[in-house]
Amino acid sequence: MIIEICCSSINSVKNAIKFGADRIELCQDLPNNGITPSKTLLNSAIEISPLPINVLIRPRIGDFFYNSEEIKLIENEIKSIKSLPINGVVIGALNKKNELPIDILKKLVRLIKPLEITFHKAFDVLNNPLESILELSKIGFDRILTSGQADTAEKGLDMLIKLKEKADGKITIMPGGGINHSNFSLFLKNGFNEIHLSAKNKSKENEIEQTADPRIIKKVVSLSKSYKRNE
């Protein structure tokens, strides 16, 4: 299983590297579900990381309906990072009906390719999630980050399984949201190939930028390796 750690600080990046993660999603402002990382954080992460980095492009907190100026900002951010040594880009957008804005997404995908593209958790407020999976695949997305339209991926497990079955290998369904060493095995046993977590320590939830806890990363990585050996 590919273990992606959501990092919003350079210390989180260091912990992800040191303790066995497979990939990094880089962002800032995790308490508000992440926004585009600063250029300083991005450049620092690229400088030290041997792991592939996927960069979140989200211009603000709040909903996922963006006006024309915000879409232009997203396009410019993509152009500014595309030449950097990164693995992929994480984006998402909806229209006022909480449906996919197909033309906007097609344009953004054209800008991002050939980098990998993840559709982020805007997916969790879509009105038609099952119908949207193959549409995102056709547009050119490689994966969908989702908690199964629930508060956490554990609560949304039944929907996540339905989404994975609907995707049928055409696009990766990557569970994320409240995943840790305590519930990680649920996703292993149900056949998910990628997982997303921030490895937050609940005792430090009041920190502005929480650091990915090395103990949680180590436990999740250990569980994944143990499961492979026992298959």
- What sign does the dihedral 109-112-115-121 (CA atoms) show? negative
Orientation of helix 214-230 relative to helix 10-18, angle to 10°? 30
Question: For position 75, what pLDDT does the model report?
Answer: 98
Distance between CA 149 and CA 139 in Å, rounded? Answer: 21
Each residue's pLDDT tens digit, 107-123: 999 999 999 999 999 99
Neighbours of 231 (CB within 10 A): 5
75 CB-contact burial (10 Å; exposed 0-12 / middle 13-18 / buried 19+): middle
The pTM for the full model equals 0.94
- φ, ψ (nearest 5 deg) of residue 225: -65, -40
Question: For position 231, what pLDDT does the model report?
Answer: 55
Helix (H, G, I), strand (E, B) or coil at 109: helix
Q: What stretches of 113-213 show up as alpha helix (H) in DSSP? A: 129-139, 157-167, 184-189
Question: For position 97, what pLDDT does the model report?
Answer: 94
Each residue's pLDDT tens digit, 40-66: 999 999 999 999 999 999 999 999 999
Neighbours of 4 (CB within 10 A): 26
Domain ranges across the chain = 2-230
Is residue 54 within 8 Å of residue 24, measured between CB atoms? yes
Residue type, 215: R
- Neighbouring-strand partners of residue 118: 90, 143
- Homologous superfamily, domain 2-230: Copper homeostasis (CutC) domain (3.20.20.380)
Question: Which stretches of the chain score pLDDT less than 70?
Answer: 202-209, 228-231
